[in-house]
Structure 1
Amino acid sequence: MPWRWIIGAVLLLAMPAAYLGLRLGQPVSETEAITFFATQYTNTTGRPASDCSAIPSQRDDVWIEVICIGPDLTGYNYLVGARGQQVAVIEMKAPQS
């Protein structure tokens, strides 16, 4: 088998592997992270995703905070890491009178 065939076969296998490696290594966008956690809120509570908003976080190791609060002033604060992973969830309850 000529060396050109071997090099061609290696390149043919390496190009899709390189593409997938680059694609999988990219972080999620802010929109993707907010949408994911708003959907998680909707699935957990049955409330609409429009209860959610996001802010940049001032906490260490936290990228953004997705805050979802319903009309009864209860909800969740999802702390999202730099790669889109959930760092923590803070349950929020209505203040007691």
Structure 2
Amino acid sequence: MVDTHSRGYLLAARRMFWSGAALFGLGLAAGWSATGHWATSWNCDPTCRPETSTMWHVIDITARTAVVLGTALAVSAFLMIMLRRPRPRPGSSGPRATE
């Protein structure tokens, strides 16, 4: 079993949360830039229509992936902290000490 009150566990959860928050923010910023007016150009062959390059499509897909991954990391880190096992009672040697 993992000691959920150790410093390493709490440090890992904290790093997961802030990494998730950073990924979420970067994904939002990249997604906003991929949908901006500078990402589209007008292609006027027979008719004029807006056109987005493949690079901006890749940036958009990567941004959406970063938002989902960042949200998953932040939520899982939050649950790691909130759903920790309670500390064992003093004098007990573990979960089977009541037998």
Q: What is the TM-score with the length of structure 1 in the denominator? A: 0.30
Q: Which entry has the higher C-alpha Rg, 1 or 2?
A: 2
- In terms of fraction of residues, the more strand-rich structure is 1
- In terms of fraction of residues, the more helix-rich structure is 2
RCO higher in structure (CA 8 A, sep ≥6): 2
